[in-house]
């Protein structure tokens, strides 16, 4: 029984460590083409390899996840809202941008 517990604990540890990396990958994919129009068309974000010049440089703006999520849900300035995104996608994208610009 002990080996099963150790294995279970090890799996939880690995999943816990992999979770943020998987979320970052999902956020990066969404940023680079998972939405239309793509975030990368308008915004500069070094981590994503994006050099858009229409919207502000996210590397310079360094928005927190709440600000990004609000912009995605309601739009801001010339940026449209993205109602096609699920709450999970909004959160993945918002956390990705926040962490990529720290």
Residue 34: predicted pLDDT = 86
> Predicted confidence band at 86 (pLDDT cuts at 50, 70, 90)?
very high
Nearest-angstrom CA–CA distance, 37 and 15: 32
pTM score: 0.78
Nearest-angstrom CA–CA distance, 100 and 102: 6
- pLDDT over 90, % of the chain: 74
> Predicted confidence band at 2 (pLDDT cuts at 50, 70, 90)?
very low
* pLDDT per position as a tens digit, 4-24: 443 433 333 333 444 667 778
Nearest-angstrom CA–CA distance, 81 and 96: 18
Specify the CATH architecture of the domain 20-100: Orthogonal Bundle (1.10)
Residue 3: predicted pLDDT = 45
Our CA dihedral for 14, 33, 90, 99, rounded to 10 degrees, sits at 60
Compute φ and ψ for 42, nearest 5 degrees.
-100, -35
CB 85 within 8 A of CB 78: no
Could you tell me which of 56, 33, 59, 31 has the C-alpha nearest to residue 45? 59
Question: Taking residues 71-97, what's their average pLDDT?
Answer: 96
Residue 22: predicted pLDDT = 72
Mean pLDDT of the chain: 85
Tokens representing 49 are: 């390899």
């Amino acid at each position: 029984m002990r080996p099963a517990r150790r294995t279970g604990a090890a799996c939880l540890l690995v999943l816990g460590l992999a979770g943020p990396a998987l979320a970052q990958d999902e956020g990066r994919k969404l940023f680079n083409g998972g939405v239309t129009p793509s975030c990368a068309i308008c915004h500069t974000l070094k981590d994503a390899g994006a050099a858009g010049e229409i919207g502000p440089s996210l590397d310079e703006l360094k928005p927190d996840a709440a600000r990004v999520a609000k912009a995605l849900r309601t739009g801001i300035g010339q940026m449209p809202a993205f109602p096609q995104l699920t709450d999970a996608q909004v959160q993945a994208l918002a956390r990705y941008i926040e962490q990529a610009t720290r």
